Structure formats: structure tokens, C-alpha cells
Amino acid sequence: MMLASGNSSLHPVFFILLGIPGLENYQFWIALPLCAMYVVAIVGNIIVLHIVRTDHTLHEPMYLFLAMLAITDLALSSSTQPKMLAILWFHAHEIEYHACLIQVFFIHAFSSVESGLLMAMALDRFVAICFPLHHSTILTPAVVGKLGAAVMMRGLLWVSPFCFMVSRMPFCPNHVIPQSYCEHMAVLKLVCADTRVNRAYGLFVAFSVVGFDMIVISISYAMILRTVLGLPSEEARLKAFGTCASHICVILAFYIPALFTFLTHRFGHHVPRVVHIMFANLYLLVPPMLNPIIYGVRTKQIRDRVIRGCCGKDP
């Protein structure tokens, strides 16, 4: 076993990522749809970014948050998918120790950022529907920028201790991670020391980030629902619900697999490993792929720009 000596800990030179244990004979073929989904995620989010950047009429809170979400999705999917495809196609199972910790950081930091952006977008919908006359004065570009910066800083500051705490701990001789990427709990299971503080901090981050964001989102949509149901005409109610439909779909696509993966890591001892690993893989890929598709289909301004671009009518 190759170990590198640090100031106060021993760590392996590299870890072994198994990919999808139990489906070794099918990994090559499983990688094909994963690669296709990754390509869709990259192309779709780049298109959304380009449209928002070049069309000044879209420099409004909803679209600025959508551009931030696209950047986050690009970082989140690219932090795992290239290495995952290399494992499944080329059997490149080794990942250097520090590269593994960097992957842990990127995965959890940008997951936190994505959750925060979904919360900020819910607040935007709340203000737009409940206080339409004051929307432009409440959510100015400066306020949107500060919200985005706050969400980013929260992700960086809350997640950084993960890597620092793990890097100070000794590892067992076993350095095999039975999945396709380095995740905090998966790396923590290889530590030969008491990890209760690490696990407690992980739960604190999960509840203080995702728990807080989901509470704000729930309150925002409860207020939106009350306002919409009080509108005088059915047409107005349908229009208001339509402006929220895309965001609700994106919320469900992100939180359902995220919560399943989080709970399975800690409490799902009877969940088949292959099911857990497949969900863990899709959790970091499906939302980045679906977000630009959902907003592209549901948002008229983006849909029209894409159609004009495809038809060669884009100025």
C-alpha cells in the first residue's frame, strides 16, 4: 500500500474508483447514454448562457439567476463526468489523492450553490407574483448580484472544512471507493479514525443548506399559491401558475435524487448498491441536462431565440 506522509496524517497516493460494481460487463454500454446526457448538459447550458449574455432584454432577475444556474450546472457535471467516462470506457480507475479531495469540494460546493440558486429563483417568483409593481425596484441587478455572491460564498465556506478535516485524518489500507466519483461520505468510510465529528458536520451542512433552502422555497410557494388563488380570473391564475411551472420541475429534478442519495448513504443499508450508485451518478447529471431543456421549452423568450438561431434569423 503506497502512503504519502503529511504533517499529521497518512494518506494514500491514490484511490481506486470502481465505477459501477456489479455491472462491470455492461459499463461500456452504460457510459453511452451518460455521455449523451453530458453532451446535452454542456451544449444546453452554453446555449442558455449565450442567449442571456447577448440578449439585453433578458437581463432581468429570472434570467440572470438562470445564467448563474447554467454556470453551476456546467461546473457540477464537469467535476465528475469526464473521469466517470474514463473509468467506464478506458478502465482509468485510479484518482490521485488531492484530485479526489478537489472533486469532493466541487461536488458539494456546487450542489450547495445550485440549491441556493433554486431558493433565490423561488424568491424571485414570489416577488414577481405577490408584489409585481415593486419587482424591478426590489430585485435590482445589484441585489441579484449580491444574492448570487452570497450563495456562492456560502457553498465555498460551508464545504471547505470537509476537505480540511478529511486531509488531517489517517486512512485505512483499503483505498477502494465503490462508485464512480469521490464523495464526502464515500471517502470518509476509508478513514481509520473516529469520524463522528465529520459526520455531524456533514449533517449540519446538509440541514443548514438544503433544509433552509427548502423551507424558504416552501414558504415562497405557499405565499404564491395564496396570491394566485385570490386572482379574479382563471386566465390570470393559469398565467401565474405557468410562470412557476419550469422552476417547480427544476426543483423536483434536483431535490428528489439528491435527498435519495443523501439518505441512502447514511440510512439506506438495505438499498441495493447498484441502485444507490446509479442514482448517485444521475443526481449529478440529470439536473444539469434537464434545466436548459425545461427552461428552453417553457420560457418563450429563450425558445424563440433558439428557434431564430436554428433558422439562421438570429441577428
pLDDT at 134: 92
Confidence of residue 235 (pLDDT cuts 50, 70, 90): confident
Judged by average pLDDT, the poorest of 98-102, 221-225, 306-310 is 306-310
- CA dist., res. 107 & res. 275, Å (int): 20
Q: Read off the pLDDT of each residue in 290-303 and give the average, rounded to a whole number.
A: 83
State what percent of residues in the chain have pLDDT above 90: 61
Q: How far is 91 from 59, CA to CA, in rounded Å?
A: 44
Rg (CA), the chain: 21
Higher pLDDT, 5 or 112: 112
DSSP 8-state class, residue 209: I
What phi and psi values does residue 254 have, to the nearest 5 degrees? -90, -50
Give the mean model confidence (pLDDT) for residues 256-263.
Answer: 81
Confidence of residue 5 (pLDDT cuts 50, 70, 90): very low
Q: What tens digit of pLDDT does each residue of 189-234 get?
A: 999 999 999 999 988 998 899 999 999 999 999 999 999 888 888 8
Domains of the chain with bracketed CATH: 21-302 (1.20.1070.10)
Helix or strand holding residue 14 (H, E): strand 14-17
Q: Distances in Å between the alpha carbon of 262 and those of 66, 199, 253, 267, 301?
A: 25, 12, 15, 9, 36
Task: Kindly tell me if the per-residue pLDDT of 126 is higher than 60.
Answer: yes
pLDDT, tens digit, for every residue of 44-66? 999 999 999 998 888 899 999 99
Rounded-to-integer distance, Cα 125 and Cα 135, Å: 9
For residue 294, pLDDT over 70 is answered with yes
User: Can you tell me the distance from the alpha carbon of 183 to that of 186, in angstroms, rounded to the nearest whole number?
Assistant: 5
Average pLDDT, the chain: 88
Cα separation, 151 vs 117, in Å, equals 7
pLDDT of 8 reads: 41
| DSSP letters for 83-129 | HHHHHHHH---EEEHHHHHHHHHHHHHHHHHHHHHHHHHHHHHHHHH
**What are 278-284's contacts with CB under 8 Å, separation 24+?**
278/20, 280/179, 280/180, 280/181, 280/183, 281/20, 281/34, 281/84, 281/179, 281/180, 281/181, 282/257, 283/257, 283/258, 284/76, 284/77, 284/79, 284/80, 284/81, 284/107, 284/111, 284/181
Residues 15, 94 contacting (CB under 8 angstroms) = yes
* Mean pLDDT within 244-262: 85
Query: Which one-letter DSSP state was computed for residue 208?
Result: I
pLDDT tier, 268 (very low <50, low <70, confident <90, very high otherwise): low
Nearest to 101 by CA among 191, 223, 197: 191
The kind and range of the H/E element at 261 are helix 234-267
Residue-level pLDDT at 265: 67
| pLDDT confidence bin for 3, thresholds 50/70/90 | low
pLDDT band for position 96 (50/70/90)? very high
End-to-end Cα distance, the chain: 60
- With a cut of 70, say whether residue 7 has pLDDT above it: no
What pLDDT, on a 0 to 100 scale, did the predictor assign at position 279? 83
Whole-angstrom distance, CA of residue 2 vs CA of residue 22? 27
User: Would you state the pLDDT for residue 313?
Assistant: 59
C-alpha dist (Å) from residue 79 to 95, 118, 162, 237: 13, 20, 17, 41
Q: If pLDDT is split at 50, 70 and 90, which confidence band does 266 have?
A: low
Q: Collapse the DSSP code of 264 into the 3-class scheme (helix H, G, I; strand E, B; otherwise coil) and give the result.
A: helix
Cell representation of residue 180: 464512480
Average pLDDT over every residue of 244-268: 82
Residue-wise pLDDT tens digits, 130-176: 998 999 999 999 999 999 999 999 999 999 998 899 988 999 988 99
Whole-number Å distance between alpha carbons of 265 and 271: 10
Whether 89 and 180 have beta carbons less than 8 Å apart is answered as no
Tell whether the model's pLDDT for residue 11 goes beyond 90: no
